[in-house]
Structure 1
Amino acid sequence: MKLQAAGKAKWFVYQKIIIVFVLFLVPLISMNIWLNYKGMSITKHAILNSSLAGASFYSKQLDKEMYFIRNLQLQLLNDRDLQKLSFRGSMLENYEEVELIDQVRDRLATLLVSSEYVVNAGVYVEAVGKTISTMSGVTATPNAEMQLITSMMTVKPKPSFYRSGDRIFLIETENNGGVCSYIELSRPKLLEALGQIAKLYEESEVLLGSKELGTVLTTASDRQESNAILDLLDNQSIPDPNVPEIKRMNGISYFVVQNEVSSLQLSLIMYVNQNEITRPLSQFTTWFYTLFIIAVIVMVLYSFSVNLMIHRPLSKLVKAFHMIETDNLNIMIESRTKDEFHYVFNGFNNMVQKLKNSIEENYEQKIALQHSQLKQLQSQINPHFLYNSFFNIYMMCKVGDSDSAAELSQKLGNYYQYITRSGSDEVPFYKEYRHALDYCEIQCIRFSNRIAYEYEEITGVPPSISVPRLIIQPLVENVFEHAFEDGMMEGMVYIATRYEEGKLRVTVEDNGHLATDEMIEQLRDKLAKDSKHMEKTGLVNVNNRLQLKYGPESGLFVSRSSYGGMRVDLIIKSGNEEVQ
């Protein structure tokens, strides 16, 4: 039969989703608007934090550089040659004085090149009445340079730095004024450092100043603007240096970042027009609303297209699969388009037809395949111990133990007759059990001095029960091959049977010491896994045969024996009351 498209009156899950989407669209828009403004706020704070980090970095670098210069100046004052020149200046011979002055000049030259902020470094030594400078050389006092330094040192209390017009100096004295060190800082280099911070934003300015000194340096063309920013900050309590402030001046809001340059006891302040930061965000808002409206229109068109091109063909395909689930394979899907669904529908029709053919073929081959697999598994048992048994008979004859040789020959003949007998794949359980006991007898004759076995007689097992051939002997064989050490005395094998409620159990245990917990766990995992690509001998062979015939609840199960060795339980469980 053929399937047609669904009727118009039906409500599909797809249509319900569209309705729910429309119902949630209005609060979703409101939430998106809120998220937009929230995102703008977060972005703005991120930008401010970035500017704060940049300003803080440059201010710390400047502060470290000033501290570095001051430390070099203090080291210069403690220089041994300079101290010697100060204390013994009047007693030195001309040659020794010139030599010390040259060494001091070398130290000053080193200080000059140590930092790009230093334009001149000099010392005044009262004992020799001279100034030594990188700019003017060695000059007798009084001179213009010393007069300038002396005039600035009258400022009380002692400031962190001295100013003369636009020139900035660091001045330190030693030996009660007997030695005076002075360093002139480069104003252009300081302005260049402030300019690096101002480059963070196009409309930002940076100043260096304090309440007492006003604006010392500024990148702004109008110094009054910088002074006004200082006044705004001075009227407030000291702000948190890690939090930017918003100050309003002349109708314009400014973000203000303040950092301390402790080496100069000044504040480094960056201020930027708020509009410069928020302008890109405002443009983003406009684009947000435009794109959101476009997205709504696209969603409506997309919903209609998906319903027409995908939802309806899928509905036909889903309905067809539902019919297959009811085992109705007489079905075909009619395709009226030439798109990908045409290929899918044709593939579905071909799949249904092949599925019908495959079910019929598999049903016919199932029993033949199962019988073949049982034959293959059974034929793989290799009684390799026969070679050793023949050798034992030979040795018994050589030593004259004819009775043991005759008994072993008889047991070996029965054993060989059982495993080579053709006929049915199944035998009565008592014969299979007897065969396993014959195998034990053979092994115990061979190892009569150190290995024995105990077994329970069959009780409660119906005589009519049949089982696959050669399923118990491999369990006992595994004990003799892997449970006992060479030379072990008093090795025992315990065999027992039990039958109740349609479940037959055969238990084989030993008292050997070779089976570790790890080996038992590995064997348990090996029996539990799919063994199509594993060896088909021994315990795996038996387990495969039982599960193939009786299902996954049957098979072999290994554990630790109460006698100290390993325990193997062979379980055959059938849905019927008796195992047939």
Structure 2
Amino acid sequence: MNQLSRLITSFIGNQSILSKLIASLLLIVTPLYVFNFIVTNIGAENNRKEIEQALRNSLQSYNNIMDSEFLRIQQMLRNSALDIAIAHVELDAANLTHMEKSMFFGEVGPYLSRIQYSSRFIKDTTALLPLLDTTQSTIAGLRKFDSGLFEALRLPSKPIIRQDDQLFINAPFVTTSDRKDSMFILAVQISEPTVAAYLSKIMNFNRSGAVLFDSEGTWSVESGHDELATTEIRQLLSAKQLELHAQTAGPQIMTHKIQGEPYLIVYEPAANTNMMLAAFAPEDEIYGSLSIYKTFFYSLSILTILVIILFSFGLYRIIHKPLKTLMQAFRKVEIGQMRFTLKHRNDDEFGYLYRRFNNMTETLDNMVNVVYEQRLLGQRSELKRLQSQINPHFLYNSFFVLQRLIHSGKRDTAIQFAGYLGRYFQYITRDASDEIALLEDSLHAQAYVDIQSVCFDEHVSVSYEAVPDAIKRFMVPRMIIQPLIENSFEHAFEKQLQQGFLRVSFAYDDEFVVVNIDDNGNQLADEQLAQMTARLEQGTHQMEESTGMINVHRRIRLKFGETSGLQLSRSELGGLRIQIVMERKEVVPDAQAPHR
């Protein structure tokens, strides 16, 4: 646990200030965003429940009205049938006069009219009188007895019967049991358009609908323009009739997809009849008002994102960008660039930091200039010392060799040797530029090799390659090859009895120029080579025999950078290999750079 805590702390601590500030903003905004999300969902859910409850109440109200209305009509039919039966039983059809028939029809008519106008759902009220071979209705009046309708309506309705695409509520009545024609039937025809128009008011949506149907699926009254949805919902509820009747009393709600679109269905079985009323509409229409919550939430989300973006941009401009500029300035200082200033538009904390930074770089620049100039003067002084320092042994030995040549009568060799000495001393005593072309420094080193070749007679063989044309004009510090060749003659060949061999070669590519100096000296042990390499890297002056070598190493690094300098290794000839490695991209110290 502690390790995990340390890892988290370390991870957070390693992040940038901008990342931490943005993370802090997210920590502040996220709880508010979550709270808004919860409140929005709660509000939407409460509205959803209120909408569903309103739909339940509406459907229940309409269902109760329809159920009660049909039950009342049925009861009125029965009561009227009982009253009519009293007059019907006294009829003697065989001896009945036309006047008596008219009087009977006149007695039946008010009953039919009273039933007809008792409900707006009644289209027509009919009395089927087989004893008088007559059908009497409020609309058509008296007409021939309709035996087909009589047979269809003989059984009591439940409460509605469909006959010839018409809906009826009937009340059959038998006056005596010994005669078939003693039965008469009172019936009302239901006005389906009126019922459909009434049902259409349950849900006031563009694509809403309602359906009233019986449990046996023999009839239905439908409202709405979507016949496919109406038919599918009626079939769905009819198939689940027993299950739906077993549910808890009261309107129920279910969701059903029709052609991939979810519909909300509110349904309830009638309490006193075998009917069921269902109303439906697409969910997007019912819950369309809830979209304001989504719109509000999405708007707030977009606003939150914009605030975070603007805040992040503001942080970037106010904090991150000035910090980044300051970090880049420090990186410039790390690589030695001092001649620049930072500017800040506002007089705030960063303005103060920038001013103090500018003062610091100015001070450092002055100090670097002083140190660099002192170092440069020291290097030049050391170079002058090397130029003026002529090895006494080399000096008098050269004159002894010249004397020997003259004494032995080798006049041409003596003249040539004197020319070598002249060129050599002319070069080292000349006060010229600190830098020369590689070809010129190589010629000086070659003059030294020519002198030593005469001094050592045939004891040392030399292979000195010409400088390639591509690097002849490559500018190098003065006198970098000759001190290294001198080191080989002094420490490799003076005490060596066998034939000595010295090789000077050149190599180059796009990045570096390399001068290789190899000898076959057998006096160099591996431990001594390692010590020389270590002291060369440390720049110590304790290695007397390598004073010139250290000087060359320092001057090369001063001009070409840390990737350049001398590299010591075991030569394939058996002795020491000295490589002068110089990067072709010259390093310019900041103290010498122009003001920017």
Whether TM exceeds 0.5 here: the answer is: no
- TM superposition score normalised by structure 2: 0.41
- Mark the structure with the bigger radius of gyration: 2
